[in-house]
Chains A and B, each alone.
Chain A
Amino acid sequence: MARRLTRLLSKYALLATLAVSYLFLYLPIVHIGLGAFARNHAFPYPPRWTLDTFGRLFANSLYQSAFANSLILGIGAGALSTALAAAATLGLMRHAGRRTGFYLVLFVAPLFVAEVLLGIASLIFNGLFLELQGNLVSAILANAVHCFSYALLIMATQLYRYDWRLDDAAMVFGASPLRTFFEVTLPLIWPGLLGAFVVTFIMAFNNLEISFYLLGATPTLPSVAWGALRYGVKPELYALATAVNLVVVVGLAVMFVLMLTGKVAFGHRPERERAV
Protein backbone atom coordinates (compact mmCIF):
# COMPACT_ATOMS: atom_id res chain seq x y z
CA MET A 1 0.00 0.00 0.00
CA ALA A 2 2.68 2.47 1.07
CA ARG A 3 4.74 1.33 -1.87
CA ARG A 4 1.93 2.05 -4.32
CA LEU A 5 1.47 5.46 -2.80
CA THR A 6 5.16 6.40 -3.19
CA ARG A 7 5.05 5.11 -6.73
CA LEU A 8 2.05 7.24 -7.54
CA LEU A 9 3.63 10.25 -5.84
CA SER A 10 6.92 9.89 -7.70
CA LYS A 11 5.03 9.55 -10.97
CA TYR A 12 3.15 12.79 -10.44
CA ALA A 13 6.27 14.56 -9.16
CA LEU A 14 8.11 13.59 -12.33
CA LEU A 15 5.28 14.64 -14.59
CA ALA A 16 4.85 17.90 -12.71
CA THR A 17 8.54 18.72 -13.16
CA LEU A 18 8.20 18.01 -16.86
CA ALA A 19 5.16 20.25 -17.16
CA VAL A 20 6.77 23.11 -15.21
CA SER A 21 9.92 22.88 -17.34
CA TYR A 22 7.89 23.09 -20.55
CA LEU A 23 6.04 26.06 -19.12
CA PHE A 24 9.34 27.76 -18.24
CA LEU A 25 10.69 27.16 -21.75
CA TYR A 26 7.61 28.18 -23.67
CA LEU A 27 6.17 31.01 -21.60
CA PRO A 28 8.64 33.63 -22.90
CA ILE A 29 8.18 32.39 -26.45
CA VAL A 30 4.39 32.58 -26.26
CA HIS A 31 4.63 35.97 -24.59
CA ILE A 32 6.70 37.54 -27.37
CA GLY A 33 4.60 35.65 -29.92
CA LEU A 34 1.53 37.49 -28.64
CA GLY A 35 3.56 40.69 -28.57
CA ALA A 36 4.38 40.26 -32.25
CA PHE A 37 0.74 40.05 -33.27
CA ALA A 38 -0.56 42.68 -30.87
CA ARG A 39 -0.78 46.44 -31.15
CA ASN A 40 0.08 46.75 -27.44
CA HIS A 41 3.29 44.79 -27.85
CA ALA A 42 4.96 45.57 -24.50
CA PHE A 43 2.26 43.89 -22.42
CA PRO A 44 -0.15 42.18 -24.83
CA TYR A 45 -2.92 41.14 -22.40
CA PRO A 46 -5.50 41.12 -23.77
CA PRO A 47 -3.99 41.51 -27.27
CA ARG A 48 -5.40 43.93 -29.82
CA TRP A 49 -4.50 42.07 -32.99
CA THR A 50 -2.55 43.57 -35.87
CA LEU A 51 -0.11 42.36 -38.51
CA ASP A 52 1.71 45.68 -38.88
CA THR A 53 4.93 44.51 -37.22
CA PHE A 54 5.27 41.64 -39.67
CA GLY A 55 4.64 44.01 -42.55
CA ARG A 56 7.42 46.31 -41.34
CA LEU A 57 9.73 43.34 -40.76
CA PHE A 58 9.33 41.89 -44.23
CA ALA A 59 9.58 45.29 -45.91
CA ASN A 60 12.87 46.09 -44.15
CA SER A 61 15.75 45.67 -46.59
CA LEU A 62 18.33 45.29 -43.81
CA TYR A 63 16.51 42.23 -42.47
CA GLN A 64 16.20 40.89 -46.01
CA SER A 65 19.92 40.99 -46.76
CA ALA A 66 20.66 39.70 -43.26
CA PHE A 67 18.34 36.78 -43.91
CA ALA A 68 20.07 36.02 -47.22
CA ASN A 69 23.51 36.11 -45.58
CA SER A 70 22.37 33.86 -42.75
CA LEU A 71 20.96 31.44 -45.29
CA ILE A 72 24.27 31.28 -47.19
CA LEU A 73 26.16 30.89 -43.95
CA GLY A 74 23.87 28.13 -42.71
CA ILE A 75 23.90 26.14 -45.94
CA GLY A 76 27.65 26.52 -46.42
CA ALA A 77 28.66 25.63 -42.89
CA GLY A 78 26.04 22.87 -42.67
CA ALA A 79 27.10 21.20 -45.91
CA LEU A 80 30.82 21.51 -45.18
CA SER A 81 30.63 20.24 -41.62
CA THR A 82 28.28 17.39 -42.57
CA ALA A 83 30.60 16.22 -45.36
CA LEU A 84 33.67 16.44 -43.16
CA ALA A 85 31.93 14.76 -40.24
CA ALA A 86 30.70 11.94 -42.50
CA ALA A 87 34.26 11.28 -43.62
CA ALA A 88 35.50 11.48 -40.04
CA THR A 89 32.81 9.13 -38.70
CA LEU A 90 33.40 6.52 -41.40
CA GLY A 91 37.15 6.79 -40.91
CA LEU A 92 36.83 6.59 -37.14
CA MET A 93 34.66 3.50 -37.26
CA ARG A 94 36.46 1.64 -40.01
CA HIS A 95 40.05 2.78 -40.36
CA ALA A 96 41.34 4.43 -37.22
CA GLY A 97 42.67 1.31 -35.54
CA ARG A 98 44.86 2.01 -32.56
CA ARG A 99 44.79 5.78 -33.04
CA THR A 100 41.00 6.01 -32.49
CA GLY A 101 41.50 7.73 -29.16
CA PHE A 102 43.67 10.48 -30.63
CA TYR A 103 41.29 11.20 -33.51
CA LEU A 104 38.25 11.11 -31.25
CA VAL A 105 39.75 13.65 -28.86
CA LEU A 106 40.70 15.96 -31.73
CA PHE A 107 37.30 15.65 -33.38
CA VAL A 108 35.20 16.40 -30.31
CA ALA A 109 37.57 19.05 -28.89
CA PRO A 110 35.64 21.97 -30.48
CA LEU A 111 32.66 21.05 -28.28
CA PHE A 112 34.71 22.00 -25.24
CA VAL A 113 35.82 25.38 -26.53
CA ALA A 114 33.25 28.12 -26.11
CA GLU A 115 31.88 29.73 -29.25
CA VAL A 116 33.11 33.17 -28.31
CA LEU A 117 36.65 31.84 -27.86
CA LEU A 118 36.51 30.16 -31.24
CA GLY A 119 35.32 33.40 -32.78
CA ILE A 120 38.02 35.49 -31.16
CA ALA A 121 40.79 32.99 -31.94
CA SER A 122 39.71 32.82 -35.58
CA LEU A 123 39.55 36.60 -35.73
CA ILE A 124 43.12 36.85 -34.42
CA PHE A 125 44.36 34.18 -36.81
CA ASN A 126 42.63 35.62 -39.88
CA GLY A 127 43.00 39.28 -39.12
CA LEU A 128 46.45 39.40 -37.61
CA PHE A 129 48.41 36.49 -39.00
CA LEU A 130 46.83 36.03 -42.44
CA GLU A 131 45.80 39.69 -42.77
CA LEU A 132 42.45 38.75 -44.25
CA GLN A 133 39.39 40.92 -44.03
CA GLY A 134 36.36 39.26 -42.52
CA ASN A 135 34.01 37.78 -45.09
CA LEU A 136 31.36 35.12 -45.52
CA VAL A 137 33.89 32.43 -46.48
CA SER A 138 35.92 32.75 -43.30
CA ALA A 139 32.71 32.86 -41.27
CA ILE A 140 31.50 29.67 -42.96
CA LEU A 141 34.82 27.95 -42.24
CA ALA A 142 34.88 29.02 -38.59
CA ASN A 143 31.25 27.98 -38.05
CA ALA A 144 31.97 24.64 -39.70
CA VAL A 145 34.61 23.90 -37.02
CA HIS A 146 32.04 24.25 -34.28
CA CYS A 147 29.28 22.44 -36.19
CA PHE A 148 31.65 19.61 -37.17
CA SER A 149 31.69 18.09 -33.68
CA TYR A 150 27.92 18.20 -33.36
CA ALA A 151 27.52 16.60 -36.80
CA LEU A 152 30.04 13.94 -35.80
CA LEU A 153 28.12 13.08 -32.65
CA ILE A 154 24.76 12.95 -34.44
CA MET A 155 26.14 10.67 -37.12
CA ALA A 156 28.02 8.51 -34.63
CA THR A 157 24.82 7.80 -32.69
CA GLN A 158 23.08 6.88 -35.95
CA LEU A 159 25.90 4.70 -37.28
CA TYR A 160 26.49 3.01 -33.96
CA ARG A 161 24.40 0.04 -34.99
CA TYR A 162 25.25 0.07 -38.68
CA ASP A 163 26.16 -3.38 -39.92
CA TRP A 164 29.47 -3.07 -41.75
CA ARG A 165 29.19 -6.64 -43.02
CA LEU A 166 26.84 -5.23 -45.68
CA ASP A 167 29.76 -3.28 -47.13
CA ASP A 168 32.03 -6.28 -46.92
CA ALA A 169 29.43 -8.36 -48.70
CA ALA A 170 29.22 -5.83 -51.53
CA MET A 171 33.00 -5.82 -51.82
CA VAL A 172 33.17 -9.61 -51.87
CA PHE A 173 30.79 -9.56 -54.80
CA GLY A 174 33.19 -7.29 -56.64
CA ALA A 175 31.91 -3.74 -56.04
CA SER A 176 34.56 -1.04 -55.89
CA PRO A 177 34.80 0.97 -52.63
CA LEU A 178 33.20 3.99 -54.29
CA ARG A 179 30.36 1.95 -55.73
CA THR A 180 29.87 0.25 -52.35
CA PHE A 181 29.62 3.62 -50.73
CA PHE A 182 27.06 5.02 -53.14
CA GLU A 183 24.95 1.88 -53.51
CA VAL A 184 25.10 0.35 -50.03
CA THR A 185 26.41 2.71 -47.38
CA LEU A 186 24.85 5.99 -48.47
CA PRO A 187 21.27 4.75 -48.91
CA LEU A 188 21.45 3.29 -45.40
CA ILE A 189 23.05 6.21 -43.59
CA TRP A 190 21.30 9.15 -45.23
CA PRO A 191 18.93 9.81 -42.29
CA GLY A 192 22.01 10.46 -40.15
CA LEU A 193 23.48 12.76 -42.78
CA LEU A 194 20.22 14.65 -43.15
CA GLY A 195 19.82 15.02 -39.40
CA ALA A 196 23.36 16.30 -39.05
CA PHE A 197 22.85 18.77 -41.91
CA VAL A 198 19.59 20.12 -40.51
CA VAL A 199 21.00 20.63 -37.03
CA THR A 200 24.27 22.19 -38.21
CA PHE A 201 22.39 24.42 -40.66
CA ILE A 202 20.22 25.71 -37.83
CA MET A 203 23.23 26.21 -35.59
CA ALA A 204 25.21 28.17 -38.16
CA PHE A 205 22.12 30.12 -39.23
CA ASN A 206 21.54 31.28 -35.66
CA ASN A 207 25.13 31.71 -34.61
CA LEU A 208 26.08 35.11 -33.31
CA GLU A 209 29.35 34.77 -31.49
CA ILE A 210 31.47 33.10 -34.15
CA SER A 211 29.98 34.91 -37.13
CA PHE A 212 30.08 38.30 -35.45
CA TYR A 213 33.87 38.40 -35.22
CA LEU A 214 34.52 37.06 -38.72
CA LEU A 215 32.01 38.92 -40.83
CA GLY A 216 33.03 42.53 -40.45
CA ALA A 217 30.15 44.67 -41.59
CA THR A 218 28.15 41.92 -43.30
CA PRO A 219 24.83 41.63 -41.48
CA THR A 220 23.32 38.31 -40.45
CA LEU A 221 19.97 37.81 -38.79
CA PRO A 222 21.42 37.26 -35.29
CA SER A 223 23.81 40.20 -35.56
CA VAL A 224 21.06 42.56 -36.74
CA ALA A 225 18.87 41.35 -33.90
CA TRP A 226 21.75 41.87 -31.48
CA GLY A 227 22.29 45.40 -32.74
CA ALA A 228 18.60 46.20 -32.38
CA LEU A 229 18.55 44.70 -28.90
CA ARG A 230 21.33 47.06 -27.81
CA TYR A 231 19.15 50.04 -28.63
CA GLY A 232 16.12 48.68 -26.85
CA VAL A 233 13.82 45.93 -28.03
CA LYS A 234 11.67 46.85 -30.98
CA PRO A 235 8.46 45.05 -31.88
CA GLU A 236 10.12 43.95 -35.15
CA LEU A 237 12.39 41.71 -33.07
CA TYR A 238 9.35 40.07 -31.51
CA ALA A 239 8.03 39.46 -35.00
CA LEU A 240 11.38 38.06 -36.16
CA ALA A 241 11.67 35.68 -33.20
CA THR A 242 8.07 34.58 -33.69
CA ALA A 243 8.62 33.93 -37.40
CA VAL A 244 11.64 31.71 -36.67
CA ASN A 245 9.78 29.89 -33.89
CA LEU A 246 6.79 29.30 -36.15
CA VAL A 247 8.98 27.63 -38.78
CA VAL A 248 10.46 25.28 -36.19
CA VAL A 249 7.09 24.49 -34.59
CA VAL A 250 5.52 23.75 -37.97
CA GLY A 251 8.40 21.35 -38.66
CA LEU A 252 7.71 19.53 -35.40
CA ALA A 253 3.98 19.46 -36.09
CA VAL A 254 4.63 17.80 -39.45
CA MET A 255 6.76 15.20 -37.67
CA PHE A 256 3.99 14.61 -35.16
CA VAL A 257 1.40 14.05 -37.89
CA LEU A 258 3.75 11.69 -39.72
CA MET A 259 4.27 9.69 -36.52
CA LEU A 260 0.57 9.69 -35.71
CA THR A 261 -0.32 8.25 -39.10
CA GLY A 262 2.50 5.76 -38.77
CA LYS A 263 4.31 6.87 -41.92
CA VAL A 264 7.65 7.42 -40.23
CA ALA A 265 8.87 6.08 -36.90
CA PHE A 266 11.93 8.33 -36.50
CA GLY A 267 14.00 5.66 -34.85
CA HIS A 268 11.21 4.48 -32.59
CA ARG A 269 11.54 0.72 -32.24
CA PRO A 270 8.81 -1.19 -30.43
CA GLU A 271 11.33 -3.78 -29.19
CA ARG A 272 13.13 -1.04 -27.27
CA GLU A 273 9.88 0.25 -25.82
CA ARG A 274 10.65 -0.45 -22.18
CA ALA A 275 13.68 1.41 -20.96
CA VAL A 276 14.63 2.33 -17.38
Chain B
Amino acid sequence: MKRRFAGPLLLGIPTAFLLALFVLPLVSMVVLSFWRTENYHIVQDWNLGNYITLATGGAYVTFLIRSLVMASIVSMVSVVIAWPVSYAIILYGGRYRLLFTLAFAVPFLTGEVLRVIALQGLLGPLGLINGVLMSLGAAPLRFIMYTNVASAIGLVYLYLPIVVTVIYLSLLNFDARLIDAAKIFGASPARAFFEVTWPLNLFGTLIGFALCFIPCLSATLAPRFLGGPNGTLYGMAMAQQFGESGTWALGAAMGVVLFLTSILAVLAVCLKVDLRRTGFTGLGRG
Protein backbone atom coordinates (compact mmCIF):
# COMPACT_ATOMS: atom_id res chain seq x y z
CA MET B 1 0.00 0.00 0.00
CA LYS B 2 2.67 2.44 1.06
CA ARG B 3 4.89 1.38 -1.80
CA ARG B 4 2.43 2.80 -4.28
CA PHE B 5 2.86 6.26 -2.81
CA ALA B 6 6.62 6.13 -2.55
CA GLY B 7 7.27 6.58 -6.29
CA PRO B 8 4.96 9.54 -6.94
CA LEU B 9 6.19 11.18 -3.73
CA LEU B 10 9.89 10.70 -4.43
CA LEU B 11 9.61 11.93 -7.99
CA GLY B 12 6.75 14.36 -7.48
CA ILE B 13 8.35 16.66 -4.92
CA PRO B 14 11.51 17.40 -6.94
CA THR B 15 9.40 17.79 -10.07
CA ALA B 16 7.09 20.29 -8.38
CA PHE B 17 10.13 22.12 -6.99
CA LEU B 18 11.74 22.43 -10.40
CA LEU B 19 8.50 23.41 -12.12
CA ALA B 20 7.88 26.18 -9.58
CA LEU B 21 11.40 27.53 -9.23
CA PHE B 22 13.07 26.66 -12.52
CA VAL B 23 10.47 26.43 -15.29
CA LEU B 24 8.16 29.22 -14.08
CA PRO B 25 10.98 31.79 -13.79
CA LEU B 26 12.16 30.93 -17.29
CA VAL B 27 8.58 31.28 -18.60
CA SER B 28 8.21 34.64 -16.86
CA MET B 29 11.44 35.75 -18.48
CA VAL B 30 9.95 34.91 -21.88
CA VAL B 31 6.75 36.81 -21.02
CA LEU B 32 8.69 39.87 -19.87
CA SER B 33 10.74 39.85 -23.05
CA PHE B 34 7.59 40.74 -25.00
CA TRP B 35 6.81 43.76 -22.79
CA ARG B 36 8.76 46.96 -22.58
CA THR B 37 10.40 49.17 -19.98
CA GLU B 38 9.80 52.87 -19.77
CA ASN B 39 11.60 54.99 -17.18
CA TYR B 40 12.33 51.99 -14.99
CA HIS B 41 8.67 50.86 -15.13
CA ILE B 42 7.45 47.74 -16.86
CA VAL B 43 4.69 48.48 -19.39
CA GLN B 44 2.55 45.48 -20.23
CA ASP B 45 1.89 45.89 -23.90
CA TRP B 46 2.77 42.96 -26.09
CA ASN B 47 5.28 43.80 -28.79
CA LEU B 48 8.43 42.57 -30.47
CA GLY B 49 10.32 45.81 -29.86
CA ASN B 50 13.03 44.24 -27.72
CA TYR B 51 13.83 41.61 -30.29
CA ILE B 52 13.89 44.22 -33.06
CA THR B 53 16.32 46.27 -30.98
CA LEU B 54 18.53 43.22 -30.50
CA ALA B 55 18.49 42.30 -34.17
CA THR B 56 19.10 45.80 -35.51
CA GLY B 57 21.29 47.35 -32.80
CA GLY B 58 24.63 46.28 -34.23
CA ALA B 59 26.38 46.14 -30.88
CA TYR B 60 24.23 43.28 -29.55
CA VAL B 61 24.86 41.13 -32.61
CA THR B 62 28.58 41.80 -32.27
CA PHE B 63 28.51 40.85 -28.59
CA LEU B 64 26.67 37.62 -29.35
CA ILE B 65 29.03 36.60 -32.14
CA ARG B 66 32.04 37.52 -30.04
CA SER B 67 30.66 35.44 -27.16
CA LEU B 68 30.02 32.47 -29.44
CA VAL B 69 33.55 32.60 -30.84
CA MET B 70 35.02 33.05 -27.38
CA ALA B 71 33.01 30.18 -25.87
CA SER B 72 33.88 27.83 -28.73
CA ILE B 73 37.59 28.59 -28.54
CA VAL B 74 37.71 28.35 -24.76
CA SER B 75 35.78 25.06 -24.68
CA MET B 76 37.95 23.51 -27.36
CA VAL B 77 41.17 24.59 -25.65
CA SER B 78 39.84 23.22 -22.35
CA VAL B 79 38.99 19.86 -23.91
CA VAL B 80 42.40 19.69 -25.59
CA ILE B 81 44.13 20.35 -22.25
CA ALA B 82 41.77 18.20 -20.20
CA TRP B 83 42.26 15.02 -22.21
CA PRO B 84 46.00 14.49 -21.59
CA VAL B 85 45.55 15.67 -18.01
CA SER B 86 42.81 13.18 -17.13
CA TYR B 87 44.55 10.47 -19.13
CA ALA B 88 47.76 11.05 -17.19
CA ILE B 89 45.87 10.94 -13.88
CA ILE B 90 44.16 7.67 -14.85
CA LEU B 91 47.40 6.06 -16.04
CA TYR B 92 49.85 7.22 -13.42
CA GLY B 93 47.66 8.33 -10.50
CA GLY B 94 47.62 4.96 -8.81
CA ARG B 95 45.71 4.94 -5.56
CA TYR B 96 45.86 8.72 -5.31
CA ARG B 97 43.91 9.30 -8.52
CA LEU B 98 40.96 10.81 -6.70
CA LEU B 99 43.27 13.16 -4.85
CA PHE B 100 44.87 14.32 -8.10
CA THR B 101 41.42 15.01 -9.54
CA LEU B 102 40.32 16.82 -6.40
CA ALA B 103 43.46 18.92 -6.52
CA PHE B 104 42.16 20.11 -9.86
CA ALA B 105 38.86 20.97 -8.27
CA VAL B 106 40.38 23.04 -5.42
CA PRO B 107 40.44 26.27 -7.42
CA PHE B 108 36.92 25.48 -8.61
CA LEU B 109 35.73 25.27 -5.02
CA THR B 110 36.94 28.72 -4.05
CA GLY B 111 34.40 30.71 -5.98
CA GLU B 112 34.51 32.65 -9.19
CA VAL B 113 35.12 36.09 -7.72
CA LEU B 114 38.12 35.00 -5.70
CA ARG B 115 39.59 33.24 -8.72
CA VAL B 116 39.15 36.31 -10.88
CA ILE B 117 41.05 38.20 -8.19
CA ALA B 118 43.79 35.57 -8.35
CA LEU B 119 43.90 35.87 -12.12
CA GLN B 120 44.29 39.62 -11.94
CA GLY B 121 47.26 38.89 -9.72
CA LEU B 122 48.70 36.77 -12.53
CA LEU B 123 47.77 38.73 -15.65
CA GLY B 124 47.24 42.30 -14.45
CA PRO B 125 49.56 45.20 -15.19
CA LEU B 126 51.23 44.70 -11.82
CA GLY B 127 50.73 40.97 -11.91
CA LEU B 128 53.17 38.10 -11.69
CA ILE B 129 53.98 37.65 -15.38
CA ASN B 130 54.48 41.29 -16.21
CA GLY B 131 56.13 41.98 -12.87
CA VAL B 132 58.75 39.31 -13.55
CA LEU B 133 59.25 40.54 -17.10
CA MET B 134 59.71 44.12 -15.99
CA SER B 135 62.07 43.27 -13.14
CA LEU B 136 64.16 41.38 -15.70
CA GLY B 137 64.22 44.54 -17.77
CA ALA B 138 61.93 43.27 -20.52
CA ALA B 139 58.83 44.98 -21.87
CA PRO B 140 55.52 43.86 -20.34
CA LEU B 141 53.29 41.65 -22.47
CA ARG B 142 50.46 43.86 -23.64
CA PHE B 143 48.21 41.11 -24.99
CA ILE B 144 47.61 39.43 -21.65
CA MET B 145 46.13 42.40 -19.85
CA TYR B 146 42.69 43.83 -20.55
CA THR B 147 42.28 42.14 -23.92
CA ASN B 148 40.19 39.32 -25.33
CA VAL B 149 43.19 37.03 -24.92
CA ALA B 150 43.18 37.77 -21.21
CA SER B 151 39.44 36.99 -21.06
CA ALA B 152 40.04 33.70 -22.85
CA ILE B 153 42.88 32.72 -20.51
CA GLY B 154 40.65 33.64 -17.59
CA LEU B 155 37.75 31.56 -18.86
CA VAL B 156 39.98 28.54 -19.45
CA TYR B 157 41.27 28.98 -15.91
CA LEU B 158 37.73 29.18 -14.54
CA TYR B 159 36.21 26.20 -16.34
CA LEU B 160 39.10 23.80 -17.00
CA PRO B 161 38.45 21.97 -13.68
CA ILE B 162 34.89 21.07 -14.77
CA VAL B 163 36.08 19.63 -18.07
CA VAL B 164 38.88 17.67 -16.40
CA THR B 165 36.47 16.21 -13.85
CA VAL B 166 33.92 15.15 -16.47
CA ILE B 167 36.49 13.56 -18.80
CA TYR B 168 38.20 11.89 -15.85
CA LEU B 169 34.89 10.32 -14.78
CA SER B 170 34.22 9.22 -18.33
CA LEU B 171 37.64 7.54 -18.54
CA LEU B 172 37.23 6.00 -15.10
CA ASN B 173 34.01 4.24 -16.08
CA PHE B 174 35.48 3.10 -19.37
CA ASP B 175 36.30 -0.59 -19.62
CA ALA B 176 40.06 -0.85 -20.19
CA ARG B 177 39.78 -4.45 -21.34
CA LEU B 178 38.46 -3.15 -24.65
CA ILE B 179 41.86 -1.62 -25.35
CA ASP B 180 43.60 -4.82 -24.41
CA ALA B 181 41.35 -6.62 -26.86
CA ALA B 182 42.17 -4.12 -29.63
CA LYS B 183 45.89 -4.50 -28.98
CA ILE B 184 45.71 -8.28 -28.93
CA PHE B 185 44.13 -8.10 -32.36
CA GLY B 186 47.10 -6.12 -33.56
CA ALA B 187 46.08 -2.46 -33.28
CA SER B 188 48.85 0.04 -32.60
CA PRO B 189 48.43 2.18 -29.47
CA ALA B 190 47.49 5.20 -31.58
CA ARG B 191 44.94 3.24 -33.57
CA ALA B 192 43.51 1.69 -30.40
CA PHE B 193 43.13 5.18 -28.98
CA PHE B 194 41.39 6.68 -31.99
CA GLU B 195 39.17 3.72 -32.74
CA VAL B 196 38.29 2.57 -29.24
CA THR B 197 39.12 5.03 -26.46
CA TRP B 198 38.14 8.26 -28.21
CA PRO B 199 34.74 7.23 -29.65
CA LEU B 200 33.73 5.42 -26.48
CA ASN B 201 34.50 8.48 -24.36
CA LEU B 202 33.06 10.96 -26.84
CA PHE B 203 29.82 11.31 -24.90
CA GLY B 204 31.67 12.31 -21.73
CA THR B 205 33.86 14.67 -23.73
CA LEU B 206 30.82 16.37 -25.22
CA ILE B 207 29.21 16.80 -21.81
CA GLY B 208 32.45 18.37 -20.63
CA PHE B 209 32.43 20.62 -23.69
CA ALA B 210 28.83 21.70 -23.06
CA LEU B 211 29.41 22.33 -19.35
CA CYS B 212 32.26 24.65 -20.31
CA PHE B 213 30.53 26.24 -23.30
CA ILE B 214 27.37 27.34 -21.50
CA PRO B 215 28.91 29.34 -18.66
CA CYS B 216 31.48 30.81 -21.08
CA LEU B 217 28.73 31.99 -23.40
CA SER B 218 27.11 33.93 -20.59
CA ALA B 219 30.26 34.93 -18.72
CA THR B 220 29.90 38.20 -16.85
CA LEU B 221 32.87 38.38 -14.51
CA ALA B 222 35.90 37.47 -16.58
CA PRO B 223 35.21 39.88 -19.47
CA ARG B 224 34.44 42.65 -17.03
CA PHE B 225 37.61 42.40 -14.99
CA LEU B 226 40.02 40.85 -17.47
CA GLY B 227 38.71 41.94 -20.87
CA GLY B 228 39.47 45.35 -22.24
CA PRO B 229 37.36 48.04 -23.91
CA ASN B 230 36.75 45.69 -26.86
CA GLY B 231 36.03 42.76 -24.60
CA THR B 232 32.35 43.20 -23.81
CA LEU B 233 30.61 39.84 -24.02
CA TYR B 234 26.90 39.15 -24.31
CA GLY B 235 26.37 37.97 -20.73
CA MET B 236 28.04 41.08 -19.36
CA ALA B 237 25.86 43.33 -21.53
CA MET B 238 22.79 41.41 -20.37
CA ALA B 239 23.67 41.77 -16.71
CA GLN B 240 24.00 45.52 -17.22
CA GLN B 241 20.35 45.78 -18.32
CA PHE B 242 19.37 44.65 -14.82
CA GLY B 243 21.88 46.78 -13.01
CA GLU B 244 23.08 50.06 -14.44
CA SER B 245 20.52 50.74 -17.17
CA GLY B 246 17.42 49.26 -15.58
CA THR B 247 15.90 48.07 -18.84
CA TRP B 248 14.59 44.77 -17.60
CA ALA B 249 12.46 43.93 -20.63
CA LEU B 250 15.39 44.25 -23.02
CA GLY B 251 17.53 42.23 -20.63
CA ALA B 252 14.87 39.51 -20.56
CA ALA B 253 14.87 39.39 -24.36
CA MET B 254 18.65 39.06 -24.28
CA GLY B 255 18.24 36.25 -21.78
CA VAL B 256 15.82 34.45 -24.10
CA VAL B 257 18.25 34.79 -27.00
CA LEU B 258 21.10 33.50 -24.85
CA PHE B 259 19.01 30.59 -23.59
CA LEU B 260 17.97 29.59 -27.12
CA THR B 261 21.53 29.93 -28.39
CA SER B 262 22.97 27.66 -25.74
CA ILE B 263 20.20 25.09 -26.20
CA LEU B 264 20.78 25.12 -29.97
CA ALA B 265 24.53 24.73 -29.51
CA VAL B 266 24.08 21.77 -27.17
CA LEU B 267 21.53 20.15 -29.49
CA ALA B 268 23.79 20.66 -32.51
CA VAL B 269 26.63 18.94 -30.71
CA CYS B 270 24.44 16.11 -29.40
CA LEU B 271 22.76 15.36 -32.72
CA LYS B 272 26.14 14.79 -34.31
CA VAL B 273 26.73 11.91 -31.96
CA ASP B 274 25.45 8.40 -32.30
CA LEU B 275 24.78 7.50 -28.66
CA ARG B 276 25.12 3.76 -29.24
CA ARG B 277 28.55 4.20 -30.74
CA THR B 278 29.72 6.21 -27.72
CA GLY B 279 29.00 3.32 -25.41
CA PHE B 280 25.90 4.90 -23.87
CA THR B 281 24.03 1.95 -22.44
CA GLY B 282 20.75 3.43 -21.31
CA LEU B 283 20.19 5.25 -18.06
CA GLY B 284 22.24 3.02 -15.83
CA ARG B 285 19.49 1.10 -14.13
CA GLY B 286 20.35 -2.50 -13.51
Contacts and interface: CB of A to CB of B under 8 A. Distances in A.
A156 B218 contact: no
B215 to A, nearest CB: 5
A31 interface: yes
Contacts of B11: 87-88, 91-92, 95-96, 103
Interface string B158-181: 001100100001011010100100
A15 interface: yes
A217 interface: no
A128 B118 contact: no
B50 interface: no
Nearest to B11: A91
Contact of B172 (A29, A106, A248, A275): A275
A111 interface: yes
B106 A252 contact: yes
Contact of B28 (A18, A125, A267, A275): A125
Interface stretch (A49-57, A186-194, A234-242): A234-242
A5 interface: no
Interface stretch (B55-63, B96-104, B139-147, B272-280): B96-104
Contacts of A25: 104, 106-107, 157, 160-161
Given A17-B81, A110-B18, A120-B251, A88 B10 contact: yes
B97 A229 contact: no
A145 B23 CA distance: 10
A95 B10 contact: yes
B68 to A, nearest CB: 14
A237 B115 CA distance: 11
A101 B284 CA distance: 12
Nearest to B87: A14
Given A18-B85, A121-B25, A241-B118, A255 B102 contact: yes
Given A117-B218, A225-B117, A274-B176, A84 B14 contact: yes
Given A124-B29, A252-B102, A21 B160 contact: yes
A112 interface: yes
B128 A31 contact: yes
A196 interface: no
B258 interface: yes
Contacts of A37: none
Contacts of A276: 87, 90-91, 171, 174, 176, 179, 197
Given A116-B218, A118-B25, A268-B97, A123 B242 contact: yes
Contacts of A213: 242
Contacts of A206: 109-114
Contacts of B189: 6-7, 10
A90 B25 CA distance: 27
Interface in A225-271: 225-226, 229, 233, 237-238, 240-241, 244-245, 248-249, 252, 255-256, 259, 265-268
A27 B157 CA distance: 11
B238 A116 contact: yes
Given A101-B283, A120-B252, A233-B117, A113 B88 contact: no
A225 B110 contact: no
Contacts of B258: 114, 117
Contact of A142 (B21, B97, B283): B21
Contacts of A120: 29, 238-239, 242, 251-252, 255
Contacts of B214: 112-114
Interface in B1-58: 2-3, 6-11, 13-15, 17-18, 21-22, 24-26, 28-29, 32, 42
Contacts of B103: 22, 252
Contacts of A205: 111
Interface in A87-145: 87-88, 90-96, 100-101, 103-104, 106-107, 109-118, 120-126, 128-129, 141-142, 144-145
A28 interface: yes
Contacts of A256: 96, 99
Nearest to B235: A116
Given A87-B14, A249-B106, 5 more contacts: A95-B8, A125-B29, A176-B2, A248-B106, A273-B94
8 nearest A-B residue pairs (beta carbon): A95-B7, A206-B111, A91-B10, A28-B118, A121-B25, A114-B218, A91-B11, A125-B25
21 contacts: A14-B84, A29-B107, A31-B128, A42-B126, A92-B11, A95-B10, A114-B235, A116-B220, A118-B25, A120-B29, A144-B17, A144-B21, A145-B17, A145-B22, A148-B18, A156-B284, A177-B2, A221-B111, A229-B225, A233-B121, A276-B171
Interface of A: 6-7, 10-11, 13-15, 17-18, 21-22, 24-29, 31-32, 35, 42-43, 45, 84-85, 87-88, 90-96, 100-101, 103-104, 106-107, 109-118, 120-126, 128-129, 141-142, 144-145, 148, 156-157, 160, 176-178, 202, 205-209, 213, 221-222, 225-226, 229, 233, 237-238, 240-241, 244-245, 248-249, 252, 255-256, 259, 265-268, 273-276
